[in-house]
Amino acid sequence: MQICLSRIRYLVDTYGLSRKKLQALKCKEVKKLRENIDQLRAHNDAYGLESLVRPYRA
């Protein structure tokens, strides 16, 4: 449980995502979101990254 909360805190602090919207997700979904974000950052895909995080923005 602590790992999941840590992932949510990281996403909120780093990308300005809504804590409420992320808490509605299951832990595996948060993990997958973080992995997808990391992949897009590794490929320098700014448009893909923006489209991925937009639904979770505050």
pTM metric for this prediction: 0.87
Q: For residue range 7-48, list pLDDT tens digits in order.
A: 999 999 999 999 999 999 999 999 999 999 999 999 999 999
Q: Where are the alpha helices (H) located in the chain, listed in sequence order?
A: 2-15, 19-23, 27-42, 46-53
Task: Please enumerate in sequence order all residues whose Cβ is within 8 A of that of 56, keeping only pairs 6 or more positions apart, or say none.
Answer: 11, 15, 17, 18, 21, 22, 33
User: What was the pLDDT predicted at 51?
Assistant: 95
